[in-house]
């Protein structure tokens, strides 16, 4: 077991958002690895939210025949998030932006971390852009992230070749997410949503 176990009370709902929807995407490999890591940590009740499984309206309407109500429910139920994102042309996937912009209050006052992958930058340019986007939704982003530079070369048979190094980074991310997750969950319980809109 790579993760340090900490005696805690109730678990937090962790939404792991798989941002890539491309055919043959490498993100699935990264997501499965991180999901396994997070499921070993009993502080979290993990929910893998694969954006490729949701049909969201591109016109930003509240089309009830789309998967928007289900997506809204999954996001609202989460206490914390990790976004697993590639970097496309120095940015992040278009469908991820649609998913973010399709909701509002469901994101508010929750912490969010990143697992990124890509070429020489390891997806970090996408992460820096996403920090600004999520800040507008009143979210707290975790400073440290897990980043796979030249990602295809970092994995063998679905696992990182330097697994202890990356698992240690994941543990650090989860520890901080758990701290912020509890702080913000208490704040959401004690203060009405109207405070965020004032």
Residues 138, 96, 116, 143, Cα dihedral to 10°: 0
| Tens-digit pLDDT profile for residues 94-112 | 999 999 999 999 999 999 9
Distance, in Å, from the CA atom of 131 to the CA atom of 125, rounded to the nearest integer, reads 10
pLDDT in tens, 164-175: 999 999 999 999
The domains of the chain are located at 12-191
CB neighbours (10 Å) of residue 135? 12
Domain spanning 12-191: CATH 3.40.50.360 = yes
pLDDT grade, residue 10 (50/70/90)?
A: confident
DSSP state of 88: B
pLDDT tens track for 108-154: 999 999 999 999 999 999 999 999 999 999 999 999 999 999 999 99
pTM of the model: 0.90
- The pair of structure tokens assigned to 20 is 């890539």
Question: How far is residue 55's CA from residue 149's CA, in Å, rounded to a whole number?
Answer: 30
**Other CB atoms closer than 10 Å to residue 87's CB: what's the count?**
23
Count the neighbouring beta carbons within 10 Å of the beta carbon of residue 42: 12
């Amino acid at each position: 077991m790579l993760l340090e176990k900490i005696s805690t009370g109730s678990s937090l709902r962790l939404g792991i958002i798989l941002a890539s929807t491309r055919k043959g995407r490498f993100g699935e490999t990264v997501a499965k690895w991180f999901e396994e890591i997070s499921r070993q940590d009993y502080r979290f009740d993990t929910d893998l939210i694969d954006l490729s499984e949701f049909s969201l309206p591109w016109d930003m309407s509240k089309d009830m025949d789309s998967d928007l109500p289900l997506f809204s429910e999954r996001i609202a139920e989460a206490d914390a998030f990790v976004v697993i994102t590639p970097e496309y042309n120095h940015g992040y996937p278009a469908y991820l932006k649609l998913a973010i912009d399709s909701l509002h209050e469901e994101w508010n006052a929750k912490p969010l971390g990143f697992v990124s992958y890509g070429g020489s930058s390891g997806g970090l340019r996408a992460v820096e852009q996403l920090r600004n986007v999520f800040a507008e939704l009143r979210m707290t982003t975790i400073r440290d992230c897990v980043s796979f530079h030249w990602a295809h070369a970092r994995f063998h048979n679905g696992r990182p070749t330097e697994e202890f190094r990356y698992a240690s980074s994941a543990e650090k991310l989860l520890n901080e997410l758990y701290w912020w997750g509890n702080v913000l969950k208490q704040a959401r319980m004690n203060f009405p949503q109207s405070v965020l809109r004032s």
